[in-house]
Chain A
C-alpha cells in the first residue's frame, strides 16, 4: 500500500490539494491500480524485444513548411481569462 507521503508527493506533482480523507482514499485506490498493472509482471517477456511503439512506423516526418495557423481570436476563444490577445493566468514566479 502506498504511504501517505507517497500520495501527497504525487498530489504535489499533479498540483492537487487533497483533504486528509482523500489522501486515505487514494492510498487505497492508487495501490489497487498499481497492483492491477503489476499483473503484467507475471508474463514471460524474456524473448520479447522492448518497444515503445506497436504501429511499426518509423521516420514518419513532414517537410518543413509553415502553414497558416489559427488567428488570435480563435486561439484564445475558449480561455477562462484573456487580456490583449494573451491568455491570462494566475501569477507565477
Chain B
C-alpha cells in the first residue's frame, strides 16, 4: 500500500473591467474610501435590478479560450444562497450548471516533467464585500466592518480536475494560470491586492499494491476531502498543500477514515503558524439552493463572436517562447525566461525585432546574465527599469562590433541601468572605447616585446604558450581597452607563430 496525494485547485481571479459585473459602479476599488463605489444593486437593496457587464463575459470567454476550453452556445447565471456578512444580498450571482467555459486543460512543468492538467470549468460570478475584523481596545468587543466597494466585482473561478499529485504541480499550475490571465490582459492578478486567490481540495489516495493507475486516474479509496479556502499567495498555497498532505496521512494512520458523501470538511489557513485549522462542515451543493437567476436573461454565445475573440487573443507565453527560440537561435529555457512577463516580453520584442540572430543572442545573454542579476537585486522587471530596448541593442552592438570588450561592458552597466544613460555615451565619457586601431596596438606590442626580452626568447625557443603572457601585458598597458582577439593575432604573427 502507498499514499497518493490528490489535489484539485479552484482559482479565483478578478477580471479587468471598468465597471462591476452586475451594476455600473467602478470596479477598481483599491485604496478607495469604504462604501463609496456602491449602488442599490451591489448593496443588495430590495428591488434593485442587475444587468450583465458585456466585458465581464468577454474576459471570461477569452480566458476560457486561452485555457483550451469549450465555450457552450448557451450559458446562464444562477443564485448561490448562503448567509455571511460579506454577502449582502444573501446570495451570490454565479453559474451552476451552464458555465461559460468547460473542459479545458493546461500543460505544466513540474519536477522536470510535463503534465496535462484538465480544467473542469471556468465560471463567472461576483466578488463579495471586504471585511475587516476589529477589536474594541476599551471593551474588548470583537466586531467586523464591511466595505461593499468590492461587492460585485467580476470574479472568474477556474476549477481544475483533481489531476494534481504534488505540491510542485499545484504551484506550477497556479503560477501558469496567473501568467496567462495577465498575458491576455483579462486580469492583473495582483496577489498583494487580493486579485488572485486559491482554494485547494486535498485528499490522500490509499493505493493498493495491485492497483494500476494512469496519470490522472483516481485511486479507488481516499481520505475525506478537505478544502482549504482563501489562500492568497503562492507561498501559502505551497505550504498549505504540504501541510495537508502530512496532516491527512497522520490522521489516516490514526483513524483509517475514508471519504464518503458528507464527510468533506473546510479548513482555513493560519499564515502565522503555517497550519490549517478546522472551520466548519462544508455545505454541500444542494445546501446552496442554487436556482436560475430570474433577473438575468440567459446568454447565447454566437460562434462567430467566440471565433473573433479567439483570433484576437495575443500569443501565449509558451508559443511566444518557442517562436523566440526558433527565430533567434536561443535556448528554449532562455526564451521561456525572457517572455515570462508580458511587459518584459514586449520589451524584448522591441529590442530584438529586425535584428540579426547574433545580436539578439548577445542581448539575451546580457539580459539573462548581468542585467538580470541587477534587476533581481533591485526587485524590478526589465520593463520597469531605466534600461531601454535601444540601450540594450546599443550595448550588444558595441560588443559585437568589437568597440568594447565584455569587461568594459560590465564596467559601464551600472551607469546604463541605474542612470538610464546610453552605453555609447558612457563609453565615450569614461574613455573606455576598445582600441581596435592596428597602428595603436602595434605600438604597444612593440613596447612590450622590447621590455620582455626573456619571455620573447622563451616563446621563440620552443615555449609558444608563453605568448599569452605577452598578450596579458599588452592588455594591462591598454587598461583592458585593446581588442583581445586582435592583440593575440598580431602578437602571434610578430612571434612567427
Residues of A within 8 A of B (CB): 13-15, 52-53, 55, 57-67, 69-72, 75-76, 83-93
Contact = CB atoms under 8 A, between A and B. Distances in A.
Contact of B144 (A52, A66, A75, A89): A89
A50 to B, nearest CB: 10
A85 B144 CA distance: 13
Contacts of B86: 92
Interface stretch (B27-35, B351-359, B367-375, B444-452): B27-35
B133 interface: yes
Give the bracket for the number of chain B residues in contact with chain A: 35 or more
B27 A66 contact: yes
Contacts of A64: 17-19, 53-56
A53 B292 contact: yes
A66 B152 CA distance: 13
Nearest to B40: A70
Nearest to A12: B287
Nearest to B143: A91
B142 A91 contact: yes
A58 B148 contact: no
Give the 6 A-B residue pairs with the shortest CB-CB distance, closest first: A52-B292, A64-B55, A86-B145, A91-B142, A57-B297, A66-B26
Contacts of A65: 18-19, 24
Interface string B29-66: 00001111111100100000001111111000000000
B83 interface: yes
A68 to B, nearest CB: 9
Contacts of B26: 66, 69
Contacts of A90: 85, 143-144
B287 A13 contact: yes
Contacts of B40: 70
A84 B53 contact: no
Contacts of B292: 52-53
Contacts of B289: 13
A56 to B, nearest CB: 8
Contacts of B19: 64-67
A52 B38 CA distance: 29
A69 B38 contact: yes
B300 interface: yes
Contacts of B132: 86
